[in-house]
Structure formats: C-alpha cells, structure tokens
C-alpha cells in the first residue's frame, strides 16, 4: 500500500498530539496513586464513558467483526452482542456499588468483602495472574492484530514488524507512564473520534464503489443468509447444526442464556471488573459512574458496529476467494483498494488510535493491580518508605510497572503465532466464576472459598468436558458452567460464612441489595428495605436491554432501507426508553 506525503503528515501529527497530551497531564498524576490510577476520582461521566468505548475499540476489533460477518453473516455478532445483558446489569446494579466501595482496584475489594488468609492469598494471586499474565496476553493479542495490519500496509518482514510494534508500544508507554489515567482518558477521546470517523469514511467509500453500487447493490449481491440479524432457527435444528451458514441456535442460547453471567473474560467481567470498574471508580460520584457506564453500553453496541458490518458484508462481494483464516483481512484490503491518498493515512491513524487506546489502558490498569495489590502490601515496601514520601514513591513504582508490563507483553508477542485458541480457553476456563462475582454483592453467605473454588474449578471442568467426554463448544461450555456452579455452591454450604465483623463493615460501606437479612439484623436495620429498590433496578435493567438492542436493530434497518421493521424498532425504542427513564428517576443515588 503506497502512502504519500499527506498520509505521513497525518500519521506523524497524530503521534505528536498523543505525546503532548501525556506531557500536559503529567503534573496531575504525580501526587499519589489515586491521582495516577483513578484521576483523583474526578472524571466526568462523558470522559469515563468515551474512554471505556475507546478501550474496547482495539486494532483487532474491526477485523474480528469483518471475519464474523464474512463467515456467519450479521448474526455472527451475537458472539459479542450477548454481552450487553451483563453490561446493563453492571450499569444499574454495580456501577454505584463499585463507586461506594472506595477501593483503588477491583482486587482490593476481595479483602473488603472477605477476611483472613484466604482473601490475602486470592488478592495476591490474582494481582499476578490478571495484572501481569492475562494482561500481557491481551496486549500480545492486540499486538498480533496490529502486526497483521502493518504487514498488509507496508509488506515488511516479521523482524521489522516486531521492531515497529516495539516503537509504538514505547510511545504509548511514555504518555501512559507520564500522565496516568487522566492522560489515558483524554487521549482515548481523541483516539475514539479518529477511529470511528475513519471507519465510517471507509464504509461510505466501499458502498459507493462500482462493484457494490450502494446499499441496494449490496443487498442484491450478498448471500441471503448473511443479512440475518438472528440465527436461522429452521437451519439449526438439532440434527442439522453443522450445515448452517450462520451461528447455531445452541450457540445463540449459550450467548444469550448463559455466557453473559457465567463466564469471566477480560474487559467484560460479570459484575464489572478490569478497566471498566477502574473507570467507574474514577468517576466524580455515583451518578457520574452510572451515566458513564450507560453511555458506554449504548455507544459500544449502537454507534460502533455498523461501519464494520457494512465492510464485512462488502468483503463477501469484493474478495469472495479469501480463505477462512484471511477473511478478517477484507477490511484492510478494502482500505488498500478503495481509499484515495490522505484518507489511507487517516485510516491507518484510526487503527493506530484504536491500538494505542487499548494498550495504554491495559498498561495503566495492569500497573494499578501490580502496585496496589502486590507491591504495596509487602513489608519491604512499607519498611523502605517509613521515612520517605510514600505516595510519590508509589507513583514511581507505577511508572516502572508500566514499563515492565510493556517488556513482558512484547516478549510474549514474539513467542506466539496466534492465540485465538487461547481466547476459547479463557472463556471456558472462566465459566462459572461469573455467578460468584455477581452474587458476592447480593448474598451474605458467599465466602472466600466460594470465589476460590469458582476461580480454580473451571480448569478441571474444562479438562473433563474437552478431553474426557470430548464435547465441543457450546456443549463443553454448558458442562463447565454446570460442574463449576455445583462445586462452588457445595463449598459455600460446607464452609463457614465470613465473620460478622467483616460482613457488617462491607454492608455499611457499600449498602448492597439482596439477601443480607442476618447482617441487617445485627446492625438493627430494616430487613426488607432493599426489595423495592431491587425491583426498580430490575425494571431499569430489562428496559435498558430492550432499549439498546432496539437502537442497534433500528440503525441496521434504516441503513438497509427496511422501513416497516425500522418503524417497529423505533416504537419499541421510544417505549422502552420512557420506562427506563421513569425507573431511573425512582432509584436511589447516595451522592
């Protein structure tokens, strides 16, 4: 792909702007690690919300959606559309609770909710497992996607690809380490605007090409199965699953009925977690936390996907001979073949922006876990800082941890060819944990052994389902969820609950909903005070799911000029939006 001087100017200008933002916000991050990792808990909802959207818009995301659509049609997107259900649960049930908890990281909550050596062990273990190991794998995955993009753009060898990625990671690390979350969040806004604008421009150029001929031409030329918003149930009967060209009904059931609540996966943890909880905890107050997360869900599912889907459908017409492993490259080939000079540079910057926003967040979040949940808790650190400024030294450790994560991630990137299998492994080996991450807020009887069991047992259940009875997904997933759920429930029943003192402190801090009757009784509080609030939140949750899915499908039907169905989704959007707004106003916000 040939770039001219205009393209290179656009790319260089973007990189300079990213570094300048880091320098501008450097002083805001130097006082203490709360400023560095949570922006002093002072982010407005729109900054936090856009930052969430930008982070989930990684370099591989348009390619992944293009591949899903090229293989399975529009309905293939239920692989990630199902996550809205859990995302909206986070909006109404957990955003306010995370903000009330007043913790620096999600792992700090472990020793707030539980007590004893088990809690200390789990917090330390997860700080390394999640903050370094899993985090580095996520970054390596994003690096591989960016390497494939650079390879198509410039046709360079693997050795030079590694050097290029190392340079991009170093630039990202510099502004992340200098500015902390403030710089990361503000840079995210710039990066998201560039990334989504570039994708919209590409979709317009591809649609208007002679080979496509607009929306009408696209609908005429793509296979009928590719236009389905939902799986074709008639072609997915029990005896004919494998013959379907779209996702099977059983896979759809796994996505909609189970995966969103049962499985732990980075960036979409049931009950909130990772950088999502980090953004919620960084908001000004509960209200900003709720609206930031609500904005994220709407933008994530309704604003972003349609340009990618259009390019994915067009790739079926433009590049019909691509193999299954290369279908994701249809997006890049469309950039190469249908964009004029200047806009090629803009689209490459869009990928850079998507890549750097994800990498910067992963580095900042990973460093927060390593510093707050591992380094800070050791005696050597406390002894070393008895007569020094501990806050500023912690910021130095945070910056060093950011660099360390970069180095480890880069090493992992050089050692792997593909980790698509790892992602399947991650989803299935987290199957069953999600229910505990949700219920620990709502049921006083959940204890540290419940969470430890739900964290470890899926590995054994996964081995049993895959290698003993040799089940395939989604049936292996159902088995893993079932066995893990039975295991942690039995462990919960057979072990003692957390101490009353621990539970009372947690309850008074967070004021959770659900079954806390024994603790409310200990505190002489009204035992049924939360049930009316829970009902209102459930109505908010259900109406918001309908609201966002309706906007998503309404947008698609308008794009494809299917007016009658568009009108139906418009009416549903209005009605569900009214219900959601009424019940949001009825819910209690403490601050």
Q: Does 585 fall in a domain?
A: yes
Q: Does 167 fall in a domain?
A: no
Q: Does 311 fall in a domain?
A: no
Please check whether residue 162 is in contact with residue 148, taking contact to mean a CB–CB distance below 8 angstroms. Answer: no
Confidence of residue 237 (pLDDT cuts 50, 70, 90): very low
What per-residue confidence (pLDDT) applies to 242?
33
Q: Does 316 fall in a domain?
A: no
Query: What is the spatial distance between Cα 280 and Cα 440, in angstroms, rounded to a whole number?
Result: 18
Q: Does 278 fall in a domain?
A: no
Number of domains in the chain: 1
Q: Say how many C-beta atoms besides its own lie within 10 A of residue 344's C-beta.
A: 23
What DSSP string describes 117-166?
HHHHHHHHHHHHIIIIIIHHHHHHHHHHHHHHHHHHHH---HHHHHHHHH
**Which segment of 112-121, 466-475, 526-535 scores lowest on mean pLDDT?**
526-535
Per the structure, the complete domain to which residue 570 belongs is given by 530-591
What's the pTM?
A: 0.84
Please check whether residue 169 is in contact with residue 143, taking contact to mean a CB–CB distance below 8 angstroms. Answer: yes
Tens digits of residue pLDDT in 116-143: 999 999 999 999 988 998 888 888 888 8
Percent of the chain residues past pLDDT 70, beyond the cut: 88
What per-residue confidence (pLDDT) applies to 175?
85
Q: Does 296 fall in a domain?
A: no
Q: Does 551 fall in a domain?
A: yes
Q: Is the pLDDT of residue 338 over 60?
A: yes
Tens digits of residue pLDDT in 441-455: 999 999 999 999 999
Query: What is the spatial distance between Cα 420 and Cα 300, in angstroms, rounded to a whole number?
Result: 22
């Amino acid at each position: 792909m040939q770039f001219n001087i205009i393209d290179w100017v656009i790319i260089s200008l973007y990189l300079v702007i990213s570094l300048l933002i880091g320098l501008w916000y450097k002083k805001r991050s130097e006082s203490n690690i709360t400023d560095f990792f949570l922006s002093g808990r002072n982010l407005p909802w729109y900054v936090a919300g856009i930052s969430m959207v930008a982070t989930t818009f990684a370099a591989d995301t348009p390619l992944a959606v293009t591949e899903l659509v090229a293989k399975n049609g529009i309905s293939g997107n239920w692989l990630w559309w199902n996550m809205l259900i859990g995302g909206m649960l986070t909006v109404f049930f957990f955003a306010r609770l995370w903000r009330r908890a007043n913790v620096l990281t999600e792992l700090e909550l472990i020793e707030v909710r539980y007590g004893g050596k088990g809690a200390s062990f789990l917090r330390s273990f997860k700080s390394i497992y999640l903050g370094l190991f899993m985090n580095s794998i996520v970054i390596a995955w994003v690096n591989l996607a960016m390497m494939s993009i650079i390879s198509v753009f410039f046709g360079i060898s693997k050795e030079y690809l590694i050097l290029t990625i190392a340079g991009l990671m170093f630039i990202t690390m510099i502004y992340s380490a200098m500015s902390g979350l403030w710089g990361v969040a503000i840079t995210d806004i710039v990066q998201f605007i560039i990334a989504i604008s570039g994708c919209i421009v590409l979709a317009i150029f591809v649609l208007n090409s002679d080979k496509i001929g607009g929306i009408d031409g696209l609908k005429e030329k793509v296979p009928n199965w590719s236009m389905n918003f939902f799986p074709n149930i008639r072609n997915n009967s029990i005896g004919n699953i494998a013959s379907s060209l779209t996702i099977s009904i059983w896979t759809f059931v796994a996505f909609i009925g189970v995966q969103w609540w049962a499985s732990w996966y980075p960036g979409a943890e049931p009950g909130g977690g990772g950088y999502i909880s980090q953004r919620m905890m960084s908001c000004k107050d509960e209200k900003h936390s709720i609206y930031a997360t609500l904005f994220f869900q709407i933008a994530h599912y309704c604003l972003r996907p349609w340009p990618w889907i259009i390019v994915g459908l067009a790739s079926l017409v433009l590049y019909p001979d691509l193999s299954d492993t290369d279908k994701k490259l249809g997006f890049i080939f469309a950039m190469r073949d249908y964009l004029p000079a200047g806009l090629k540079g803009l689209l490459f910057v869009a990928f850079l922006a998507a890549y750097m926003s994800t990498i910067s967040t992963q580095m900042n979040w990973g460093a927060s876990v390593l510093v707050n949940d591992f380094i800070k808790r050791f005696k050597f650190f406390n002894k070393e800082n008895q007569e020094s400024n501990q806050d500023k030294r912690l910021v130095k450790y945070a910056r060093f941890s950011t660099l360390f994560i970069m180095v480890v991630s880069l090493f992992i990137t050089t050692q792997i060819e593909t980790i698509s299998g790892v992602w399947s492994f991650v989803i299935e080996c987290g199957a069953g944990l999600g229910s505990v991450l949700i219920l620990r807020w709502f049921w006083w009887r959940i204890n540290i052994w419940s969470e430890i069991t739900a964290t470890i047992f899926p590995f054994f259940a996964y081995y049993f389902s895959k290698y003993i009875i040799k089940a395939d997904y989604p049936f292996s997933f159902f088995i893993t969820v079932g066995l893990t759920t039975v295991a942690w429930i039995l462990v919960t029943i057979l072990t003692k609950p957390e101490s009353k003192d621990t539970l009372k402190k947690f309850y008074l801090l967070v004021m959770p909903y659900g079954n806390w009757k024994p603790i409310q009784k200990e505190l002489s509080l009204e035992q049924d005070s939360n049930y009316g609030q829970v009902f209102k939140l459930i109505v908010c949750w259900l109406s918001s799911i309908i609201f966002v899915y309706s906007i998503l499908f309404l947008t698609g039907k308008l794009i494809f000029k299917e007016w009658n169905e568009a009108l139906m989704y418009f009416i549903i959007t209005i009605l569900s939006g009214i219900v959601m707004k009424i019940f949001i106003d009825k819910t209690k916000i403490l601050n």
